[in-house]
Amino acid sequence: MSKKKIVVFTGAGISAESGLKTFRDSGGLWEEYKVEDVATPEAWENNPEMVLTFYNKRRKQVMNAKPNAAHYALVELEKKFDVQIITQNIDDLHERAGSKKVLHLHGEIIKSRSSVDHSLIYKIKGTEIRIGENCAKGSQLRPHIVWFGENVPHMDEAGNIAAKADIFIIVGTSLNVYPAAGLVDFVPHDSPKYLIDPQAVSKDYISNLTVKRERAGTGVPELVKKLLI
């Protein structure tokens, strides 16, 4: 018999206990920076140096962070289930914990890409992208990040995966940013859904939902233990 499919949809909250800031919590990144200054194509056009500095700083933080109990618990789930992670996070903590299938909707901080040809993607050597560092076609390298106002290239693929979920688990996201936040609409009506987030507000539009108002480092291992029985 083939394994049941669990799709886990994660946001910044799953990495909070690894020391990485979320975006919209109090003290979050979007209190410190303006989205339009650092995370839009216009910002890149007007002030690429500022954009690179913002992501260079975040890359160093990610490289110094370690996966936490929530990331590791999701790896355990693979013992019994076919687990697919779909993350909005640009960190690589799911991969470093050992998760086998991870789809990044909003890009990956450890990679750069060409600003003229989006298929040219590189692993960054060291911690920084600098002005003057070019792709094979001679244009400036940019962070491999999906900015506000840009298409989410993996959204169709993510929707197809979510449509096959026997169980859908949402962890640490305010579900504010579309199209990613609409992923749950693709999940079959009858499939059990879980939301683990200390600030979760009621989500009447999500069918078959169990809300656990807990931090990821506690709530995810608890749920995983229950699912593995």
Residues with a known catalytic role: 106
DSSP H or E run through 212 = strand 209-212
Sole residue written with tokens 């076609």 = 137
Distance, in Å, from the CA atom of 180 to the CA atom of 4, rounded to the nearest integer, reads: 23
- Per-residue binder mask for ligand APR (CB under 6 A), 103-132, x = binder: ---x--------------------------
Q: Please identify, among the stretches 95-103, 115-123, 152-160, 197-205, the one whose residues bind ligand APR according to the rule CB under 6 A.
A: 197-205
CA atoms within 13 A on the CB side of 138: 0
Query: Cα dihedral sign for 213, 215, 218, 222?
Result: positive
- Per-residue binder mask for ligand APR (CB under 6 A), 198-227, x = binder: xx---------------xx-----------
Measured over all CA atoms, what is the biggest interatomic distance in the chain, rounded to whole angstroms? 55
Is 18 a binding residue for ligand APR by CB under 6 A? The answer is no
Nearer to ligand APR, 68 or 140 (CB): 68
Residue 93 beta carbon to ligand APR: minimum distance, rounded to whole angstroms? 13
Nearer to ligand APR, 79 or 225 (CB): 225
Is 23 a binding residue for ligand APR by CB under 6 A? The answer is yes
Is 12 a binding residue for ligand APR by CB under 6 A? The answer is yes
- By rule CB under 6 A, what count of residues binds ligand APR? 22
Residues 28-67 that bind ligand APR (CB under 6 A): 28
Coil vs helix vs strand at 207: coil
Is 75 a binding residue for ligand APR by CB under 6 A? The answer is no
Distance, in Å, from the CA atom of 124 to the CA atom of 174, rounded to the nearest integer, reads: 29
Give yes or no for a contact between 155 and 146, defined as CB atoms under 8 angstroms apart: no
Is 11 a binding residue for ligand APR by CB under 6 A? The answer is yes
Q: Please identify, among the stretches 23-31, 113-121, 134-142, 185-193, the one whose residues bind ligand APR according to the rule CB under 6 A.
A: 23-31
Nearer to ligand APR, 6 or 106 (CB): 106
Q: How far is CA 73 from CA 77, 173, 228, in A?
A: 7, 18, 11
Q: What is the 3-state secondary structure (H, E, C) of 107-143?
A: EEEEEEEECCCCCCEEECCCCCCCCCCECCCCCEEEE
Residues that bind ligand APR (CB under 6 A): 11-13, 16-17, 22-25, 28, 88, 106, 172-174, 176-177, 197-199, 215-216
